[in-house]
Amino acid sequence: MWKIIMSMAVGLFLSTSALALDGNQLLVQIDRNLNPESFESYRKIVNTEPDGRKKEYTYYTVKKGKDKIAGLFLAPASEKGRTTLRLGENMWLYIPNVGKPVRITSLQSVVGGVFNNSDILALDYAEEYTVEKAEEAGNEYLLHLKAKTKAVAYDKLNMWVDKSKKIPTKIECMTEASMLIKTIYFKDIKDFGGGLIRPAVIETDSPLYKGYKSVMIFAKIKKRDFKDEIFTLTFMPKMESIR
């Protein structure tokens, strides 16, 4: 009898470990289904106010490897030429009028609205989070993610993942005390070419910004390799040259 109980306990432990491991592997797969590891993309960020008024930004992004990502605002005219750079947890903003890069933090927002800097300059989920628990929820998986360090913008994520496509459909972003900061919705699956089929629209709303909505619409995502020197402060004013 004792042996049976021990076997069941060991079996339960092993299956839990295997599930946790699967969760982390699934997260890596989700990252690759959303973006190649190194790529360039064009997206529009639209902030909508409760009265329906909108403000739009066109943003060019380049990413290399696990922790290098940079962006350039192409529109509107008031933001044109602004560039952002993220190297791991370091983030900078370059404003042409100011003329030099200044350090910014992940919780700030260079565009206002519901998206903050860590949403806009997002690294791979597997780079910042570990899967604490993975469970099945009908046609979806529900992954419970925990930030690897205190420097990550959201301490916890609840991620719902389409089982067949292995791409997220919804993410809840929460504080350490499980307070909901925002919800992100992935919509409009589109073929971007090169085998990349992923959501073209990411919407977000937040209980902290009642009635406001922010949307990212992707027009192009293309695998492309870049030199490391592009992801430096000195290169920030020259981002336009690599388009």
List the beta bridge partners of residue 158. 144, 172
Q: Are 72 and 204 in contact (CB under 8 A)?
A: no
61 binds another protein (CB under 8 A): no
Considering only the stretches 4-12, 106-114, 121-129, 137-145, report the one whose residues sit in contact with another protein under the rule CB under 8 A. 106-114
Residue 95 DSSP SS3: coil
Question: Measured from the CB atom, is 20 or 242 closer to another protein?
Answer: 242
Q: Cβ of residue 142: shortest distance to another protein, in angstroms?
A: 27
The four Cα atoms 79, 81, 82, 86 give a dihedral, to 10 degrees, of 140
Distance in angstroms (rounded) separating the CA atoms of residues 163 and 142: 10
User: Please, where are the H alpha helices in 64-193?
Assistant: 117-120, 125-128
Annotate each residue in 17-56 with x if it binds another protein (CB under 8 A) or - if it does not, as one string. Answer: -------------------------xxx-xx-x---xxxx
233 binds another protein (CB under 8 A): yes
Residue 190 DSSP SS3: strand
Q: Are 56 and 46 in contact (CB under 8 A)?
A: yes
Q: Cβ of residue 185: shortest distance to another protein, in angstroms?
A: 15
How many residues line the site for another protein (CB under 8 A)? Answer: 65
- CB burial of residue 5 (10 Å; 0-12, 13-18, 19+): exposed
Q: Cβ of residue 171: shortest distance to another protein, in angstroms?
A: 19
Q: Cβ of residue 110: shortest distance to another protein, in angstroms?
A: 11
Residue 109 per-residue DSSP state: -
Query: Which residue from 95, 167, 180, 196 is in contact with another protein, where contact means CB under 8 A?
Result: 95
Distance in angstroms (rounded) separating the CA atoms of residues 137 and 213: 27
3 binds another protein (CB under 8 A): no
100 binds another protein (CB under 8 A): yes
In the complex, which residues of this chain contact another protein (CB under 8 A)? Answer: 42-44, 46-47, 49, 53-56, 58, 60, 74-78, 80, 87-91, 95, 97-100, 102-103, 105-109, 112-113, 150-153, 209-212, 215, 217-220, 226-235, 238, 240-243
